[in-house]
């Protein structure tokens, strides 16, 4: 590491010798299920700049109004600290001069200082998809690169289908690289567009192209063989100095090379500085934040940044981790902003429960009988469909209940009812009523909401607000429903996970029942009990 | 390929020179969120045998009653066609003779013909976790292997933490391999237990160990760097002839090397026969079936077998695919039992909509105005939260509605109401009422259900059963709820996806509304309209 003298908060620029190039906003947006607004794209660009990538490919200006607007607003609204904005486009049309091609003009108009041009390098694609001659394709590459360079832009050339093309017609594929490089492209990027390559092939090809052309090379790998990260690293091993990736591996079909494991490998395993100082420790947060913006649940099992990436379940591992966490972790999770977790499950032994108790600040003091009782209740509840791995707060309530020998309840429910209705006049109604006892008093409250669960939540708050004003600070932040198949022959059941926050944190609770309303009710009940407990409120049932 | 003379349905055994070893039932079960019953394990074993893996590691007999029961029932209930059952266990305890160690006895008692022994090969783990001497650890390996071989078992030895151990103390790590091999182990498996390795390191180490020991080697890779598949292939390139994998990559922390891309690479990219004839074409089905058993949604973006693995979205790709699908696919998806899909999304251009129409049997006949109208409606609905990528049937209804110029409705809803209630006496009630018009008749029906959505579904069926008896054949098979954040400032909305089946197929529909009941109602409404249309019923609103 060369940054030992930097202050801990000072982010320094990475030099130009190695490029971390992100294409989440262009290629990543091709993923099934992703649809980005301009506002989404601006937010993601800010996260990527914050993380410290060198280049952010923002889209194809001119190809659709959204991308054109993005470039305009990004220039005006974002003060990039690390990244340069890149516009993506194609070489000029066949038979047209670069200066007369409106698509090329739109690239200049975008104002982006860097332009990535996609070029065909596979002879069959030139003939079938472009429907032009091999020579004209070379001229298209040469003219467009020279024209954009002449207008002061830095140009990278993406050779689409390079690896397949190189296998089919190596001379022509090499000629495309040479042409781009000689016309002024700074980097020629070899793309495994169909994603069919394996690391050994990628390494050998990159080596051969460097020897044959002397060009500065980049790599753009798709993940169709499950090897995109390894293919990217194999290209780096062979001499490539520019890696194109997407956040969380989003992209067409299976996806692209995932930015996070690529930069983590380079920084941690290669000991190579590719990000500003301090950025790696932000990686988990940034990965999850981008998932939120694209509205996809963060992958729990993503390397380095998944919530499961440092989660330990096996009893064997738990016992060893009590001795030394490094025995079952390849790195300290804090280096990438993640944390170690012990999982509570019916596979968990006493060691896991004890460690988990410690994590939650409940000292079980090696009480074998108590720990055994907790293990027993967890097994029994998980058999019924509960899951405590994702519901720490419900587990803590269970644990404390056993440790303290009694449930701490803030109220006692007599009954509840929720109604959802589409009326003949086209209006909707969602209404709920709760009847409960709190502080010796019987309270009946009714409320309306956006839906029956929301109405129940509001009715409960109305009923309790006088006695427990602290409830006003609690906010429902997430709500997940899963239908569990009755693999044990009991018919299907519904599991609801609710996330709730107050000013200082967030917690998750679980409910399981035959239907979504009843399961939600349970999860809400736990959420409020936990929230009141956190707030230091004494139960007064 | 050497199987050109086999009949298409005849599955032949793969020879012993290369081992596909599956450990889904042991290491895969360590994944966060997985909890397998004995029945689950038996079902998965059948799928794996069907797929044609050579070895199925079933668990650790003696370590817990579930695994002991599994081995007993697997022997009795499963007539394995391809796989051999493998029991997993540890070398004998320090200071105890192998024949006196009950854990070793349980391995013999399991009746499994093959036993995998886990052995420590990292000096630090011997000292910290086993708390014995390096010499005693070697004796433990030697004695246990010899004892089990002496009882007629085939023995594989898993060298835990081999790669880290080899880096820390290469001589000792190699000595463990040599000891195991000389004592009679058929294969010594190098395990990257903490998953921190990269392919180049794995390849170099495997090569060195083969040169130093002459042992037959296997590889067991964890995916903590996102390179488990590539690490497995790097080991094979270096001479390993035994690969340990799990279905869908399930496993501790991030997971294990994923069986499916590993065998697909070996069969397709290496042209090496590692599965029985015809098995590869079953891969997608088996991957999804195993996901069902473990009760995890199949990963949509898994290489080769994900529903998105051959799904095309970019307008650029769609136009090229109209020319030739191979231009944007690395293999024919049918080789692995998957299919190509065109995605309908607001990024889709006219080409995608036209191709999708063809896929659904709706000829849009190049009608530019009609196609433009469909593109417009899709964009507008997706902006409101709908997704047609996962709801083909709802999209087809939309498409036909535009193509035919009118909605085909089977009934007209006047109003509906659903009530969920927890009564003071502890009983529950879920009741729904629908009021609708069908065939000129006004019908009012009420029904009870497990929950409010189930009650609505039943009430609708009660109302319509006389007029549309075909509804009786429709079954709800899946139900998913997602809360969408109102990133466009409209507050949160709920999206429901419903899968419905009849005797001959399954389809998916979508509903979006402010709450789960109203969204479910829409998805049900589409599901029935689609099902009746499939059944050839004429609308008689």
pLDDT digits (tens, 9 = 90+) for A53-77: 999 999 999 887 889 999 999 999 9
Across A15-19, average pLDDT: 93
Question: Do B306 and B298 meet the contact criterion of CB atoms below 8 Å apart?
Answer: yes
CA B448 – CA B431 distance, rounded (Å): 4
Distance from CA of B152 to the nearest CA of A (A): 28
- The answer to whether B330 contacts A195, with C-beta atoms less than 8 Å apart, is yes
- The answer to whether B261 contacts A323, with C-beta atoms less than 8 Å apart, is no
Please tell me the predicted confidence (pLDDT) of residue A489.
Answer: 35
List chain A residues with CB under 8 Å of B229. 225-227, 230
pLDDT confidence band for A316 (50 / 70 / 90): low
DSSP state for residue B3 in the 8-state scheme:
-
Residue contacts between A and B (CB atoms, under 8 Å): 312
Q: Tell me: pLDDT of B301 over 60.
A: yes
List chain B residues with CB under 8 Å of A428. 514, 518
- The answer to whether A323 contacts B128, with C-beta atoms less than 8 Å apart, is yes
Distance from CA of A416 to the nearest CA of B (A): 5
Of A108, A326, A68, A223, give the one whose Cα is nearest residue B302. Answer: A223
Higher pLDDT, B183 or B387: B183
How many residues in total does chain A contain?
A: 541
- The residues near B328 (Cβ < 8 Å, ≥ 6 apart) are A193, A194, B312, B317, B320, B321
- The answer to whether B233 contacts A227, with C-beta atoms less than 8 Å apart, is yes
Distance from CA of A252 to the nearest CA of B (A): 7
Q: What interface predicted TM-score (ipTM) does this complex get?
A: 0.74
pLDDT tens digit string along A500-514?
888 877 888 999 988
- The residues near A410 (Cβ < 8 Å, ≥ 6 apart) are A438, A464, A468, A528, A529, A532, A537, A539, A540, A541
List chain A residues with CB under 8 Å of B196. 269, 330-331
Distance from CA of B247 to the nearest CA of A (A): 14
Distance from CA of B404 to the nearest CA of A (A): 27
Q: Which two tokens stand for residue B153?
A: 């078992």
Q: Tell me: pLDDT of A344 over 70.
A: no
**Residue of chain A whose alpha carbon sits nearest to that of B296:** A484
Q: Bin A271: left if φ > 0, else alpha if -120 < ψ < 50, else beta.
A: left
Residue carrying structure tokens 């659903």: B418
Please tell me the predicted confidence (pLDDT) of residue B158.
Answer: 98
- The residues near B445 (Cβ < 8 Å, ≥ 6 apart) are B433, B434, B459, B460, B462, B463
- The answer to whether A327 contacts B420, with C-beta atoms less than 8 Å apart, is no
Across B113-137, average pLDDT: 95
pLDDT confidence band for B362 (50 / 70 / 90): confident
- Judging by DSSP bridges, how do beta strands A505-513 and A493-502 pair with one another? antiparallel
Question: Do B268 and B250 meet the contact criterion of CB atoms below 8 Å apart?
Answer: no
CA A243 – CA A259 distance, rounded (Å): 9
Strand segments, DSSP code E, in A279-349 are 311-312, 341-342
Distance from CA of A236 to the nearest CA of B (A): 12
Residue carrying structure tokens 């600290």: A81
- The answer to whether A328 contacts B194, with C-beta atoms less than 8 Å apart, is yes
- The answer to whether A198 contacts B30, with C-beta atoms less than 8 Å apart, is no
| CA B133 to the chain's CA centroid | 42
pLDDT confidence band for A7 (50 / 70 / 90): very low
pLDDT tens digit string along B6-49?
333 334 456 899 999 999 999 999 898 787 888 889 989 999 99
Cα angle A275-A180-B327, degrees, rounded to a multiple of 5: 90
pLDDT confidence band for B294 (50 / 70 / 90): confident
List chain B residues with CB under 8 Å of A323. 128-129
**Residue of chain B whose alpha carbon sits nearest to that of A294:** B487
Most confident by average pLDDT, A36-40, A336-340, A503-507, B274-278: B274-278
Q: Which two tokens stand for residue A153?
A: 């832009």
Helix A350-360 vs helix A368-383: crossing angle, to nearest 10 = 100
Please tell me the predicted confidence (pLDDT) of residue A464.
Answer: 93
End-to-end Cα spacing for chain A: 59
H/E segment holding residue A160: strand A154-160
- The answer to whether B422 contacts A255, with C-beta atoms less than 8 Å apart, is no
List chain A residues with CB under 8 Å of B516. 451-453, 481, 516
Most confident by average pLDDT, A258-262, A445-449, B290-294, B370-374: A258-262
CA A498 – CA A519 distance, rounded (Å): 10
**Residue of chain B whose alpha carbon sits nearest to that of A129:** B320
Which of A103, A164, A330 should one mutate to test binding to chain B, selecting the residue with the greatest count of B CBs within 10 A?
A330
pLDDT confidence band for A3 (50 / 70 / 90): very low
Count of C-beta atoms within a 10 Å radius of residue A324 = 13
Distance from CA of A9 to the nearest CA of B (A): 27
CA B96 – CA B88 distance, rounded (Å): 19
CA B201 – CA B225 distance, rounded (Å): 12
Please tell me the predicted confidence (pLDDT) of residue B157.
Answer: 98
Helix A368-383 vs helix A392-404: crossing angle, to nearest 10 = 140
Question: Do B322 and B355 meet the contact criterion of CB atoms below 8 Å apart?
Answer: yes
CA B189 – CA B173 distance, rounded (Å): 12
Of A215, A204, A117, give the one whose Cα is nearest residue A174. Answer: A215
Of A459, A512, A443, give the one whose Cα is nearest residue A481. Answer: A512
What are the DSSP calls for A400-431, one per residue? HHHHHTS---S-EEEEEEEEEEE-TTS-EEEE
Helices marked H in A407-473 — which ranges? 452-464
- The answer to whether B199 contacts A454, with C-beta atoms less than 8 Å apart, is no
Q: Which two tokens stand for residue A231?
A: 């293919």
End-to-end Cα spacing for chain B: 59
| % of chain B beyond a pLDDT of 90 | 61
A342-351, A526-535, B43-52, B448-457: least confident range: A342-351
- The answer to whether B224 contacts A304, with C-beta atoms less than 8 Å apart, is yes
Of B369, B346, B373, B344, give the one whose Cα is nearest residue B357. Answer: B344
Question: Do B281 and B263 meet the contact criterion of CB atoms below 8 Å apart?
Answer: no
Of B304, B343, B423, the CB nearest to A32: B343
pLDDT tens digit string along B399-418?
888 888 877 789 999 999 99
pLDDT confidence band for B491 (50 / 70 / 90): low
pLDDT confidence band for A315 (50 / 70 / 90): low
Please tell me the predicted confidence (pLDDT) of residue A484.
Answer: 66
Most confident by average pLDDT, A284-288, B230-234, B531-535, B537-541: B230-234
- The answer to whether A254 contacts B301, with C-beta atoms less than 8 Å apart, is yes
- The answer to whether A198 contacts B265, with C-beta atoms less than 8 Å apart, is yes
**Residue of chain B whose alpha carbon sits nearest to that of A430:** B515
pLDDT tens digit string along A403-455?
888 777 899 999 999 999 988 887 888 999 999 999 889 999 999 988 888 89
Across B297-316, average pLDDT: 84
Question: Do B37 and B295 meet the contact criterion of CB atoms below 8 Å apart?
Answer: no
- The answer to whether A194 contacts B328, with C-beta atoms less than 8 Å apart, is yes
Helix A516-534 vs helix A452-464: crossing angle, to nearest 10 = 40
- The answer to whether A330 contacts B196, with C-beta atoms less than 8 Å apart, is yes
Please tell me the predicted confidence (pLDDT) of residue B426.
Answer: 79
CB contact burial B79-90 (16+ within 10 A = b; e otherwise) = eeebbbbbbbbb
Across A196-206, average pLDDT: 98
Distance of CA A251 to CAs A105, B211, B301, B389, Å? 27, 41, 10, 15
Of B15, B17, B18, B16, give the one whose Cα is nearest residue B3. Answer: B15
Of A230, A231, A314, the CB nearest to B252: A314
CA A25 – CA A290 distance, rounded (Å): 11
What are the DSSP calls for A209-267, one per residue? HHHHH---EEEEEB-TTS-HHHHHHHHHHTT--EEEEBGGG--STT-B-BHHHHHHIII
- The answer to whether A224 contacts B487, with C-beta atoms less than 8 Å apart, is no
Q: Which two tokens stand for residue B258?
A: 């994923």
Question: Do B448 and B455 meet the contact criterion of CB atoms below 8 Å apart?
Answer: yes
Residue ranges of domains in chain B, CATH in brackets:
24-85+270-300 (no CATH), 91-244 (3.20.20.70), 311-404 (no CATH), 411-535 (3.30.160.270)
Of A198, A265, A518, the CB nearest to B198: A265
- The answer to whether B32 contacts A387, with C-beta atoms less than 8 Å apart, is no
Distance of CA B4 to CAs B12, B278, B470, Å? 12, 11, 47
- The answer to whether B33 contacts A515, with C-beta atoms less than 8 Å apart, is no
- The answer to whether A233 contacts B413, with C-beta atoms less than 8 Å apart, is no
Across A515-523, average pLDDT: 89
Q: Tell me: pLDDT of B541 over 80.
A: no
3-state secondary structure of B117: strand
Question: Do A254 and A246 meet the contact criterion of CB atoms below 8 Å apart?
Answer: no
Please tell me the predicted confidence (pLDDT) of residue B300.
Answer: 85
Please tell me the predicted confidence (pLDDT) of residue A496.
Answer: 87
Q: Bin A130: left if φ > 0, else alpha if -120 < ψ < 50, else beta.
A: alpha
Q: Which two tokens stand for residue B185?
A: 């182990």
Of A505, A507, A232, give the one whose Cα is nearest residue A395. Answer: A507
CA B482 – CA B98 distance, rounded (Å): 54
Please tell me the predicted confidence (pLDDT) of residue A118.
Answer: 97
List chain B residues with CB under 8 Å of A345. 32, 35
Distance from CA of B129 to the nearest CA of A (A): 6
- The answer to whether B29 contacts A347, with C-beta atoms less than 8 Å apart, is yes
Question: Do B354 and B371 meet the contact criterion of CB atoms below 8 Å apart?
Answer: yes
Q: Which two tokens stand for residue B221?
A: 């890779």
Please tell me the predicted confidence (pLDDT) of residue A319.
Answer: 66
Please tell me the predicted confidence (pLDDT) of residue B8.
Answer: 36
- The answer to whether B30 contacts A237, with C-beta atoms less than 8 Å apart, is no
Count of C-beta atoms within a 10 Å radius of residue B347 = 20
A479-488, B71-80, B100-109: least confident range: A479-488
Across B465-490, average pLDDT: 74
3-state secondary structure of B510: strand
How many residues in total does chain B contain?
A: 541
Q: Tell me: pLDDT of B348 over 60.
A: no
Backbone φ and ψ of A90, nearest 5° = -110, 165
Of A313, A327, A451, the CB nearest to B129: A327
Please tell me the predicted confidence (pLDDT) of residue B486.
Answer: 43
Please tell me the predicted confidence (pLDDT) of residue A5.
Answer: 37
List chain B residues with CB under 8 Å of A312. 252-253
Distance from CA of B363 to the nearest CA of A (A): 24
**Residue of chain B whose alpha carbon sits nearest to that of A302:** B254
List chain B residues with CB under 8 Å of A304. 224
Higher pLDDT, A36 or B472: B472
DSSP state for residue A501 in the 8-state scheme:
E
H/E segment holding residue A172: helix A170-183
pLDDT confidence band for A165 (50 / 70 / 90): very high
Please tell me the predicted confidence (pLDDT) of residue B296.
Answer: 77
List chain A residues with CB under 8 Å of B518. 420, 422, 428, 451
Three-state SS for A77-101 is HCCCCCCEEEEEEECCCCCCCHHHC
Of B195, B231, B253, the CB nearest to A308: B253
Of A225, A254, A420, the CB nearest to B518: A420
Across A36-43, average pLDDT: 86
- Judging by DSSP bridges, how do beta strands A154-160 and A187-192 pair with one another? parallel
pLDDT confidence band for B1 (50 / 70 / 90): very low
């Amino acid at each position: 590491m060369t940054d030992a003298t930097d202050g801990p908060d000072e982010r320094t620029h990475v030099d130009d010798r190695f490029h971390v190039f992100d294409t989440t906003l262009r290629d990543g947006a091709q993923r099934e299920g992703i649809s980005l607004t301009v506002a989404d794209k601006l937010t993601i660009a800010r996260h990527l700049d914050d993380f410290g990538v060198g280049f952010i490919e923002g889209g194809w200006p001119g190809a659709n109004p959204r991308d054109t607007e993005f470039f305009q607003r990004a220039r005006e609204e974002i003060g990039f600290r690390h990244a340069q904005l890149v516009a993506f486009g194609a070489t000029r049309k066949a038979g047209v001069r670069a200066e007369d091609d409106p698509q090329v003009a739109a690239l200049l108009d975008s104002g982006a200082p860097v332009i990535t041009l996609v070029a065909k390098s596979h002879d069959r694609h030139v003939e079938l998809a472009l429907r032009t001659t091999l020579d004209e394709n070379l001229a298209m590459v040469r003219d467009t690169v020279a024209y954009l360079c002449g207008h002061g832009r830095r140009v990278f050339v993406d050779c689409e289908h390079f690896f397949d093309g190189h296998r089919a017609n190596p001379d022509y594929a090499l000629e495309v690289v040479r042409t781009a490089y000689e016309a002024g492209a700074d980097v020629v990027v070899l793309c495994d567009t169909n994603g069919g390559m394996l690391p050994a092939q990628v390494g050998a090809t990159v080596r051969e192209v460097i020897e044959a052309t002397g060009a500065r090379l980049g790599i753009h790998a798709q993940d169709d063989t499950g090897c995109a990260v390894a293919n990217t690293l194999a290209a780096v091993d062979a001499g490539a100095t520019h890696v194109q990736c997407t956040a969380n591996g989003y992209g067409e079909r299976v996806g692209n090379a995932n930015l996070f494991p690529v930069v983590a490998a380079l920084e941690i395993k290669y000991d190579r500085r590719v990000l500003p100082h301090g950025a790696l420790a932000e990686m988990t947060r940034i990965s999850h934040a981008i998932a939120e913006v694209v509205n996809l649940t963060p992958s729990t099992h993503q390397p380095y940044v998944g919530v499961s990436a440092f989660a330990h379940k096996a009893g064997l591992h738990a016992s060893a981790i009590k001795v030394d966490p490094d025995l079952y972790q390849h790195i300290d999770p804090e280096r990438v902003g993640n944390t170690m977790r012990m999982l509570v499950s019916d596979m968990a032994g006493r060691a896991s429960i004890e460690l988990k108790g410690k994590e939650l600040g409940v000292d079980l003091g090696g009480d074998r009988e108590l720990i055994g009782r907790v293990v027993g209740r967890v097994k029994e509840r998980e058999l019924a469909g509960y899951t405590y791995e994702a519901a720490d707060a419900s587990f803590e309530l269970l644990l404390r209940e056993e440790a303290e020998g009694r449930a701490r309840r803030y109220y006692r429910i007599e009954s509840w009812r929720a109604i959802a209705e589409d009326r003949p006049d086209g209006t909707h109604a969602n209404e709920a009523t709760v009847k409960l006892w709190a502080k010796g008093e019987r309270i009946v409250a009714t409320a309306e909401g956006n839906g029956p669960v929301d109405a129940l939540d509001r009715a409960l708050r109305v009923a309790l607000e006088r006695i427990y004003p602290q409830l006003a600070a609690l906010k429902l932040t997430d709500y997940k429903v899963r239908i569990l198949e009755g693999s044990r022959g009991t018919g299907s059941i519904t599991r609801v996970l609710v996330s709730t926050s107050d000013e200082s944190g967030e917690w998750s609770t679980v409910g399981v029942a035959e239907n979504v309303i009843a399961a939600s009710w349970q999860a809400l009940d736990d959420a409020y009990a936990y929230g009141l407990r956190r707030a230091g409120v004494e139960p007064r049932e």
